[in-house]
Structure 1
Amino acid sequence: MTTPASVMPRATYRLQFHAGFGFKDATAIAPYLGRLGVSHVYASPYLKARPGSTHGYDITDHQALNPELGTEEDFSAMVAALRQAGLGQILDFVPNHMGVGGSDNPLWLDVLEWGPESEHAGWFDIDWDPDRRYLLNKLLVPFLGDQYGVELKAGNLALKYDEDEGTLAVWAYDTHKLPICPLFYDRILAHENAGLDRLSDLFSDLPMWRPQVAERARALKAELAALLNDDAEARAALDAQIASFNGDWKALDALIQEQFWRVAYYGVAGDDINYRRFFNINDLAGLRMELPAVFRHAHARIIPWVEDGTLDGIRLDHVDGLLDPKRYFDDLRAASTRPFYLVIEKILAAHEQLREDWPVEGTTGYDFTNLVLGAMINPAAEESFTETYKSFTGLVTPFAEIVRECKIRIMENEMASELNVLGRDAGRVARQNPMTADFTRNILQRAIKQIVASFPVYRTYIDMDGAQEDADRRDLDWAMAQARRGDSNIDPSVFDFLHGALSGQVVAAPKSGFSRTAVLRFAMKLQQYSGPVMAKGLEDTTFYRYNRHVALNEVGGEPERFGISANAFHKANAQRAKNWPHAMLGTSTHDTKRGEDTRARLAVLSDLPEEWSRQVTIWSRLLRARRGDIGGNAPPDRNDEYLLYQLLVGSWPVELLEQTDEAALQVYAERLKGALEKSMREAKLHSTWTAPDTAYEDAMQAFARDALDTNRGGFLASFLPFAQRVARLGVQNSLIQTVMKLTLPGMPDIYQGCEMWDLSLVDPDNRRPVDYTVRQVALADLEPRLEHVEGRGSLLGELLQDWHDGRIKLAVTALLLDLRREQTSLFATGSYEPVSIEGGKSDQALGYMRGADDQRLVVLVARYPGLRETDPDWGDTVAMLPDGRWTDWLSGRVVEGGQAVKLGELFDVLPAVVLRSS
């Protein structure tokens, strides 16, 4: 698959659309983004989503724009403004699921109304024949805040009539619409009123209209609306009937029991849910995108936008949720006659490679995020850092054991129902063959739990053809070996059967005794399950429990790997240049746990491990002594305390480094409070989202408030000098991170606002409003001053001295985006090779060369700023610069190649040089 260069982005800028930032706002900043130097806006989803959505992934109507973002006219004006600024568009799109609940998803409402008979019943991944027989032909709707009976008696479920549609529905909290099936309208309409009595009789006759029941019901609803609009007596009679139901909860319950839905307390979902969700989120229901009708419906707006040039590309969210990702990618490519850029959100394990036969440009860049971070972490500090963490917290459990424990917890709680279904399906398959007929659902379910807990990757990719790639076979074999040890009480033959089923081997030969389709469908369903379990167990649980160095606890990251070698760094980049030269390169996203500059700061701690250890000990004594807890036994526990110190160091606002501003401090305190709450609840140790432990949470929040208390400033007096030093050193990491993103193989993305400092905490903190006025003014001031190469060195030196305002990062970003515009082919298809660095401090720098045709570019970056501050002399360390005359694009310095060049001379202005052959 080859995507033409004409639609390939040069660089993108991510915009998060929501009610506070719509099409008009994007229109207003289009000229600024064009001047900054990106080629495309990379937009969050803007199809119609749940009201108040801050991310857009909860789409409720694929046919319409989100009205909270603006009108169709506003959208057209935005598209025109982007084009005028020389910008194309990449759209984020989620094929896996839709937003459900509420009252605004017509497909979901139709399924609730008609159950298995709905024309959309097969569009969602619903099990209409579950083991929970009370849900036979019913859809569980777990949206209640308390038990069903409690909410029913309290009047929080109420029958209502919609005069515009002529429909009847039960509403939960006036928010969730639960349609009454027209087959039961006669229960409500029957009355002495002649008009209602006539319609009651007609509705009771609906079964005689099969298979056109729904069409006939629509006609009768229209008649009902007309009658009630014209006949006040009939309307009053219906209102009285409705009031009688709402006044008698037993009568309302009897009506509810007849429907195709079963409304329930949200906590029931973990055990009894019978539709596939996005992870464990009840109001995001999985779509069966493998069905042609679903595919056509979901892409009814997207594909025409590609065809007419509104979109040059698509970013696909959560592709591992799809039953058959490759088939979907093929279908998507085939749906458009115009080529387009296509990248996918795919989390890769360290040993895992993206499938080369997938017709995509690459991933959305989480692997790159962690690669660049790894290059900034000093591996030599691992032993010291680990010892500090263990001695401070008392925690010694290996990371891998925590992951396994958390995955099992997810399967036994939030996602137990899906595990039950897999056990049932495995049992049905096993009973097809006498040799496996005695494997019970319980024993199979236990084995499946061990297998999924042992998966070293998010999922494998066997499909209905039954072919298994070597990578899948390797990962499945590993999981099986670990699973057998995980529960040795399970008969080995059970694992043998499941291994054969998940690999397709039990049906590889004819007359196996098993249904080939049933076996492969079971394997593919388990693949859909293993991904969410990994995500919830690793990203959303383990990453909040294991706090050795939280910068490493990033989406797609491996916190147990403390930094990477230069060889590993070069190997990864060379592979991307060869196989995925247009993959997206990201350092901040709407999902990253920490902002890119927060991580860059925290990376500095690996340069100062002994000082860090001393500081946290001092801070803990200061804060706990104030609370009368000399022994350190009162809450919060030491692990959460250790997390707090890292969050403070990483995200401490620039404006609070040198002076105290009570208003700014209060804003920061609220941000920190939200991050701590999420961290505690996601860790699921002392508190959870479903059962918050307010006593523990209050203790943690009070501890954080004490740290920020300026009236008792012992902690702040100790903390601020260290925070100032780390922040200053972190600037150097931020700059080399920016340089690497904009020069390494791939297509760089700038997350909204990150052309200046991004000291965000976990979402939703990273979706705060961006001050584009500040950025536009700064860029307008810098543009004329950056035009001439000769004067850049002194300008960038001044900006680095005054780094607090973020203009140094903006200047470097604009300069390198301009270079990408000048040397498009070099960055789009250029080769990659390491530049040799030799000498006593060779480990403190990285170098690489990009080349295409007669264009060459050498990039050198200095890492470990804490070490260099302590010992700034580079000594005999040199870079072996290729032949030629080179000009640093950033400083304007001219360097002669073909010789060893001293790094001390190259890094006298910035911790990076970008040498262009001349």
Structure 2
Amino acid sequence: MSSQHPHLPASGKHLPISTYRLQLSKDFTFQDARKHLGYWQALGITDLFLSPILQAVPGSMHGYDVVDHRHISAELGGRNAFEDLADAAHRAGLSIIVDLVPNHMAVPTPVWINLPMWSLLKQGKDSPYSHWFDIDIDQPILMPVLGKRIGQVLADQEISLEQLAVPGEDKLGKQWVLRYFDHYFPVATGTEALPMEVLLERQHYRLAHWKVADEELNYRRFFDIDSLAALRVEERDVFDSTHALLLQLFNAGFIDGFRVDHPDGLADPAGYFHWLSEATGGAWIAGEKILEDAERLPSDWSICGTTGYDTAWRLTALQVDSRASLPLGTLMQSITGDSPSSYRQIERQSKAQIIDTSLAAEVRRIGQLLWRICQNDFRLRDYTFRSLLDCLRELIMQMPAYRSYVTVGQPASNISREIVQSAATRALRQLDSEHSDTMEVIVSLVLGDKIGSAALNISDRDRQEFLVRFQQVCGAVMAKGVEDTTFYRWTHLLCLNEVGSNPQAFGVSADSVHLFASDIQSNWPATMTTSSTHDTKRGEDVRMRLAVLSQYPTLWTQIVSDLRDTTQVYRPNDLDGRSENMLWQTLIGTWDDNGSISSPRLRQYLLKAIREQKSWTTWTNPDTVRENELLDFADQIICDPQVAEIVSRWHGETEQATAYTILANKALQLTMPGVADVYQGSEITQTSLVDPDNRRPVDFSALSKMLSHLDTKGLDFSDASSLDQSKLYLTAAILRLRRRLPDCFVSAYATYQPLALSTGYAVAFARGTAREGAQIVTIARRLPGVLARYQGDFRSEHTVVLPKGSWKDICSNEVFSAGTQSLEELLFKRGARILERVD
């Protein structure tokens, strides 16, 4: 890292100013991306940010299911096509950021697509890859692929022994393999002549019914996805092997920086980032670290910052009126039965369900490890397995963050102690008082403290493993229990249910955003800021439309009442209240000038959402009758002309406030401290929902034509004929400004200065450098719907104080002088205004 600042790239290494996220797939390859370099250059970005480029499972639409670290994805075009894209991008003045996936590899069908996994299944402990995967190698590796229990599968003769040439191992000739429909598995040498039942018993793996996985799986997964097996990149040779190609491309100049996927799953994130930074000579690296509420990124991580969820949720909550918490909570309770104060209870119930179902195998694994530690220590033997498991389970439920940030061999920090000990205090409130001494033992082990005799070597190794695995399980429970369960049950205001968000923080103040931004500028000046990603549950514009609900709570309550009355005649008798409240908000959040989103998109989203709720239907045990009733109900809603009339009434009342909110959010995100990321297509308005909806193709040619038209016309931002034009014009203007004045936005000496305002309905700050002072001013609306209800718009007494100098609007020729200026004039018909100092 740079000697100037510990969290900037090293001297001579590339520093992004703005990135444009591309979702590559077989339908949008390296060659396809090359065709649009001119558009991204014209837009003003400095870096293309590519989804994973290594060889993934054939047909993958995202690339996170890597199967071969030695090759660039053939479906994306292969290595030559990637290098051609990188060369062309560099000639166009664009650098390349690549998404790196260190935590896991795919367990594909057939398994031979992942040759290291195939080798492990074939040779067990004798495989050169036996230490690659986070697997209990002392027992057969569970392969939960069977549609029926093994006895019935054998009785039906659905497993056969065959000989064939395994792709990638052709030099070995034909091999004996076991076939189960589309699944193929290797046969251990010398076992092929055995009777089928004996043969299966002699393998290094165990074929099992898919339902066995949740309780008995013996390899760590990416969360609860059986087809993604965790890697041990904490082993240096595994790190070197899995990173060799990408580092080779980096050293050759084709890659300029990295985004690291899911570092919370790693055994030692700090150690991993140190290795990666060292291997790249201090490149720009951003980690997909999910920070909860006021949680801080560890300062000893050798990265430049996060991928921006911490900024995204604050900017969303900035546009949420906290005074609407009660009326919207009352509405939620009337529909769902959930009270506004029940969030923590729902969160705890959701985590408990995940611990007892989809992550039961992981929790049981560390429970048995904990039990072994106690049994092997004379002083700890009297703690029973049940008491240990009860305390462990409750402690995991009460953990408020993905990790406790304790590293093996290092003393726990004060922050780590506070995280774990406060969670233990909350956990004990849910347990009998007799569990207090048991909890004390677990807390000591989680923090790496000495307890008991700690004399036996086996115990020492087990303690180290427990310290690591506890954190890995906590992260998985947070992701699956909160983000993928609680956030689908809690329907107070859906825009607050986002990755890294705190739905209980119903709105945040401008002052808190200023404090956050100032801290980022001081400590993480090259972190990433974002508003939409491939993982957000709703795109930025959908979230902003939903934030407007809080600005019109009375009107929204009436709209929902009218919608329910209108649709009562075809409403399912047992419609789930949470699903219904989610449906009404989704309807409004995705209904734009073109009307509702299509039926297939809405059905796809609702099906995923209700199964993620895990209340009355699930992925593993779907209630298809009730599901179809809900989906058919949604179809009728979007085709009902009376519904369209009600929605039009909402839009008529809130259209301007919605436009202002969308534009204000974009302006703030692009001018806050950090590297500004633009998710593909989000330079105009989108109705994107959770993946795969947010991975829909983008018409870059149409965007390029729109931008060219706006540039040719010399359009004044306030006179744009559509919200799409306004957003594109504003986005391009800011990105071009960032490229022209990079030091004001991303540097060790960039500055962030809140500006004095006479009202809470706006946010204003200046960006510049320590040497030259303020150079750019951002002024954006906040809660425009509330202002419209109370006052109509800004009045003459609403002012902002501009820094010294003359200030020109970057989207027009208007110039303003320093000192007190009228917001009525500055923000007339605008969601935001960006000024550049011109004297």
Q: Using structure 1 for the length normalisation, give the TM-score.
A: 0.86
Q: Which amino acid aligns with 1:818?
A: R
Report the Cα distance in structure 2 between the residues aligned to 1:466 and 1:516, rounded to whole angstroms.
14
d(CA) in 1 for partners of 2:29, 2:148: 36
Pick which of 459-468 and 37-46 moved more: 459-468
Given that 2:71 and 2:79 are in contact with CA atoms closer than 8 Å, whether structure 1 keeps it comes out as: no
Query: Which SS does the other structure have where 1:689 is aligned?
Result: coil
Q: Is 1:433–1:514's contact at 8 Å kept on the other side of the alignment?
A: no
Q: 1:355 aligns with which of 289, 293, 298?
A: 298
Residues of 2 paired with 1:764 and 1:668: CA distance?
14
- Secondary structure of the structure 2 residue equivalent to 1:177: strand
Counterpart-to-counterpart distance in 1, 2:708 and 2:188: 61
For 2:781, the equivalent position in structure 1 comes to 862
Please list every run of 5 or more consecutive structure 2 residues that lacks an aligned counterpart in the other structure: 3-8
Pair 1:177-2:160 in alignment: no
1:315 is aligned to 259
Q: Which string of whole-angstrom CA distances, capped at 9 and with x for unpartnered residues, describes residues 614-643 of structure 1? A: 11011111111344x7xxxx2212221111
- Read off the aligned partner of 1:846 and give its amino acid letter: V
Quote the offset at 1:878 in angstroms: 0.9
The answer for the alignment partner of 2:427 in structure 1 is 483
User: What per-residue deviation string (whole Å, max 9, x for no partner) do you get for residues 11-51 of structure 1?
Assistant: 10001111111111111111211111111110000100111
Find the counterpart in structure 1 of residue 5 from structure 2: none
Inter-partner Cα distance in structure 2 for 1:913 and 1:509: 65
* Cα offsets for 1:817-872 (capped at 9, x unmatched): 1111111111113111211111xxx1111111112122522211112221233332
- Aligned residue number for residue 707 of structure 1: 637
Shift of 1:71: 3.0
- 2:416 is paired with a residue of what secondary structure? helix
1:534 CA drift (Å): 0.7
Quick check: 1:423–1:442 contact (8 Å CA) kept in 2? no
The one of 391, 409, 414 aligned to 1:447: 391
Q: 1:653 to 1:858 in 2, by over 3 A?
A: closer
For 1:182 and 1:271, locate their aligned partners in 2 and report how far apart those are by CA, in whole Å.
30
The 3-state SS of whatever aligns with 1:110 is helix
Alignment-derived partner of residue 837 in structure 1? 757
Q: 1:209 maps to which residue? A: none
Percent identity of the aligned residues? 33
Per-residue CA distance 1:640-681 (angstroms, 9 max, x = gap): 11111100100114322xxxxxxxx6x611100011001110
Separation in structure 2 between the aligned mates of residue 718 and residue 909 of structure 1, nearest angstrom: 26
Correspondence 1:847 to 2:784: no
Q: Is the aligned partner of 1:895 residue 2:819?
A: no
Q: Distance in 2 between matches of 1:749 and 1:509?
A: 51
For residues 270-302 of structure 1, the C-alpha deviation after alignment (integer angstroms, 9 at most, x for no partner) is 110000000010010000111111111101111
The one-letter amino acid of 2:822's match is: K
Query: Is contact 1:507–1:516 with CA below 8 Å preserved after alignment?
Result: no
Query: Secondary structure at the residue paired with 1:897?
Result: strand
- Secondary structure of 1:707's counterpart equals helix
- After superposition, residues 630-645 of structure 1 pair within 5 angstroms as 634-645=573-584
> Does 2:48 align with 1:41?
yes
Counterpart position of 1:82: 89
Structure 1 portions without partners, runs of 5+: 130-136, 189-250, 657-664, 787-791
- Show the counterpart of 1:913: 833
Which residue does 2:664 correspond to in 1?
736
> Which stretch shifts more, 146-155 or 530-539?
146-155
Q: Which moves more between the two structures, 7-16 or 773-782?
A: 773-782
Q: Distance in 2 between matches of 1:9 and 1:127?
A: 41
Give distance in 2, aligned partners of 1:97 and 1:726. Answer: 45
After superposition, the Cα gap between the structure-2 partners of 1:340 and 1:906, relative to the gap in structure 1 and judged at 3 Å, is same
Partner residue of 1:376 out of 312, 319, 339:
319
Letter in 1 for 2:54: L
Q: Distance in 2 between matches of 1:424 and 1:508?
A: 18
After superposition, what is the alpha-carbon deviation per residue over 1:595-621, rounded to whole angstroms, capped at 9, x for unaligned?
A: 111111111111100000011011111
Deviation at 1:371, TM superposition (A): 1.0
Residue 682 of structure 1 corresponds to: 612
1:122 aligns with 2:131: yes
Q: Distance in 2 between matches of 1:294 and 1:781?
A: 51
Deviations 1:779-827 (A, max 9, x none): 12122344xxxxx5xx21221xx225x1211111111111111111111
Equivalent position SS for 1:383: helix
451-460 or 859-868, which deviates more? 859-868
- What is the letter of the counterpart of residue 772 of structure 2? D
Task: Give the drift of 1:516.
Answer: 3.5
Matched letter for residue 143 of structure 1: V
- Whether contact under 8 Å (1:635, 1:699) holds in the other structure is no
Q: Deviations over 1:224-268 (max 9, x none)?
A: xxxxxxxxxxxxxxxxxxxxxxxxxxx433322221111112211
Instruction: Tell me the equivalent position of 1:17.
Output: 24
| Matching residue's letter, 1:160 | E
Q: Residue 874 in 1 paired to residue 818 in 2?
A: no
Which amino acid in the other structure matches residue 300 of structure 1?
Answer: A
Alpha-carbon distance in 1 for matches of 2:30, 2:239 = 26
3-state SS of the aligned residue for 1:534?
helix
1:146 Cα deviation after fit = 3.0
CA-CA distance at 1:6 after TM superposition: 4.8
CA radius of gyration, larger in = 1
1:826 corresponds to: 744
Cα gap change, 1:58 to 1:626, in 2 (>3 Å): closer
* SS at structure 1 position matched to 2:218: coil
Matched-pair contact (CA < 8 Å) for 2:130–2:137: no
Q: 504, 524, 533: which is aligned to 2:477?
A: 533
TM-aligned CA distance change 1:887 to 1:105, over 3 Å: same
The letter for the 2-side match of 1:173 is F
Deviation string, structure 1 residues 59-83 (Cα, Å, up to 9, x no partner): 0000011111113332222122212
Residue aligning to 2:404? 460
Distance 1:718 1:851 in 2: 47
How far, CA to CA, are the matches of 2:34 and 2:559 in structure 1?
Answer: 48
User: Which residue of structure 2 aligns with residue 166 of structure 1?
Assistant: 174
Structure 2: which amino acid aligns with 1:760? S
Alignment map for 1:154-553 (pairs within 5 Å): 154-163=156-165, 164=170, 165-174=173-182, 176-185=183-192, 187=193, 251-336=195-280, 338-396=281-339, 398-488=342-432, 490-506=434-450, 515-553=459-497
- The aligned amino acid for 2:265 is G
Structure 1 residue 541 displacement after superposition: 0.2
* Whole-angstrom CA distance in 2 between matches of 1:507 and 1:691: 44
Letter in 2 for 1:916: E
Tell me what 1:749 maps to: 677
1:117/1:11 CA distance change after superposition, 3 Å: same
Between 1:525-534 and 1:379-388, the stretch displaced more is 379-388
Q: Which amino acid aligns with 1:851?
A: G
Show CA shifts across 1:361-384 (max 9, x none).
000001111011011111122222
Alignment partners' CA distance in 1, 2:588 and 2:58: 36
Q: How far off its partner does 1:778 sit? A: 0.8
Say whether the 8 Å CA contact 1:9–1:747 is kept in structure 2.
yes
Could you give the per-residue CA deviations for residues 656-714 of structure 1, whole angstroms, max 9, x where no partner exists?
Answer: 2xxxxxxxx6x61110001100111000001000010012101211211221224xx22
Asked if structure 2 preserves the Cα contact closer than 8 Å seen for 1:597 and 1:759, the reply is yes
Which AA in structure 1 matches 2:142? L
Matched residues in 2 for 1:334 and 1:76: separation? 24
1:108 and 2:123 are equivalent in the alignment = no
**TM-score, structure 2 as length reference:** 0.94
Which structure features the higher share of helix residues? 1
Does the C-alpha gap of structure 1 residues 256 and 28 become closer, same or farther in structure 2, counting only changes over 3 Å? same
**Aligned counterparts of 2:617 and 2:333: Cα–Cα separation in 1:** 22
SS of 2:778's equivalent in the other structure is strand
Contact 2:56 2:65 in 1 (8 A): yes
- Partners in 1 of 2:601 and 2:158 — Cα distance? 33
Distance 1:166 1:451, change over 3 A: same
Distance 2:104 2:456 in 1: 35
What is the rounded CA distance, in whole Å, between the counterparts of 2:47 and 2:228 in structure 1? 29
- Partners of 1:76 and 1:410 in 2: CA distance: 43
Q: Tell me the CA shift for residue 883 of structure 1.
A: 2.4
Aligned partners of 1:896, 1:470: CA distance in 2, in Å?
Answer: 49
**Pair 182,374 (structure 1): closer, same or farther in 2 beyond 3 Å:** same
